[in-house]
Chain A
Amino acid sequence: MGVEKGMREKARIMDQQGIGRALTRIAHEIIERNKGTDNLVIIGIRRRGVPLASRLAERIKEIEGSSVPVGVLDITLYRDDLSTLSQQPVVHQTEVKFSVQDKKVVLVDDVLYTGRTIRAALDAIIDLGRPSVIQLAALVDRGHRELPIRADYVGKNVPTSRKEVIAVQLEEIDGEDGVLILENG
């Protein structure tokens, strides 16, 4: 999530190097857990999960020498809050140009919070086919889960209050890398 208007920066908890190290570690963990890259695919959740998924795929290629397919998932049509919104959120395209059938899918998002986005993403992936396993990678886990969902790979656990906002900034979208804690102010 980018920096929202009217929010004050409270702390910068990760910088470019920190994010880089976390992603490298997660890439190693993914390879280790899955015993290589066979049948592995990576799917990023729009928006900031998408560049993170690409970066993970690059690192895996650097380590293992093999390319892992990367897809883009838009979960808007699977959200559980559509009927409560005053206007419909913009729908973007899901671009998963490979079959997920019997694949090991690593789902990537920037922040894991209530778990509702992941719930929607799981439904969205399953509508595309039946993977053999789905794992979740999140750059930041800030707690406050509302659903029984946990991440398999976490860049950084950050205890937060609900009033705070975690803003992940990525070069591809925001021009620079960083993770901030914001507060109303």
Chain B
Amino acid sequence: MSLLIKNGIIIDPCAENRAVKDILVENGKIAGVSEHLTAPEAEVLDATDKLVTPGLVDMHVHLREPGFEAKETVQTGTLAALKGGFTSVACMPNTYPVADNASVIRYILGRAQEAGNAKVYPVGAITKNSEGSELAPMAELKEAGAVAFSDDGKPVNDAAVMRRAMEYAKMLDAVIISHCEESTLAGGVMHEGTISTMLGLKGIPAAAEEVMVARDVILARLTGCRLHIAHVSTAGSVQIIREAKSRGIKVTAETTPHHFTLTHDYVHGYDTATKVNPPLRAPEDVEAILAGLADGTIDVIATDHAPHTEEEKNVEYDLAPFGLVGLETAVGLVWSQLVLPGFLTAEQAVAKLSLNPARILGVPAGSLEVGAPADITIIEPRQEWEVNPESFASKGKNTPFAGRKLTGKPVMTLVNGTRF
């Protein structure tokens, strides 16, 4: 069975120029990309005025399975990914049990296969039970299918442990994804600043993140390991990463749609959907994040999709768990906040949403070359829509964007040529 996508605007980060072309999909692979393709047998899909991009890759999601199936499952999380235009997701290991052994990795992959939605690439734990003391069996995890290592949700507090983890990861040619937070400085529930002072909530200073980013950059220089900084949220972190890159240190970085869109002002009213770690920061941080995205310091946009149940979130701000869902709002926010205002070109945005994370993780995605898997996202860049959490495929409805009007929506995703 073959499919011909006609007249779409091809946004391929690998290609030189933007052009209106047709794409032929055969046997789950891209069989041709050029102008005026004909394929008499193929079903034709008209993509006029729509953007046709490589299937998007979200390198930072929490699918919650095993252990927290009330929040999300691999099935619902990957369906949410497809609805959000993502054909591949990398899921973090803070499940129960923690993905610190091969059987959990294999379990997740098995569930992903059963679900048959977006492709799932598990991230293995750096340390046993993500407790930050003993290294997890990283080689075994990689063998089982882990694409990277992280103790996401918690920092690796002990610098010596992080150093050893990096040395191991380098040997395995794997990337360490670091959740940068100096615990002794953190311990709050929102950004430390004028708003936390007004609201009487305990703050997490920007320094809590920056101290750790600096430490890990220095350790990456020491070990030569590839380091990826997860969810960059402060101006200081952007600056440290920018300098590290200029010195040739192998560091990459991601930020999230909520960190380039929202400031700590949104915590007014104590809506626990705004409680996220790292926290929503000050306006000057958001500006620095936008600058970092524009100049390439920040390579990747990832959602840090973190679903929680209504019961867990409908509590005192101090007691609510950190995290918000992002898979189904990411493309709309990227277009509304970055592409339409001109911070990024569509190609740059798509690179940060596909090719760059694919390269960092070493997974086959992010390209529309002939022969590549037919993972394709079709985006209607001018479609205006309103975020309605009740319509989410994700079990998590915890979004601070409910009711927000966005422009730009993924309208179709193909995984290995199968339409969703």
Within 8 Å by CB, do A and B touch in the complex?
Answer: no
Contact surface of B with A, Cβ cutoff 8 Å: none
Contact surface of A with B, Cβ cutoff 8 Å: none
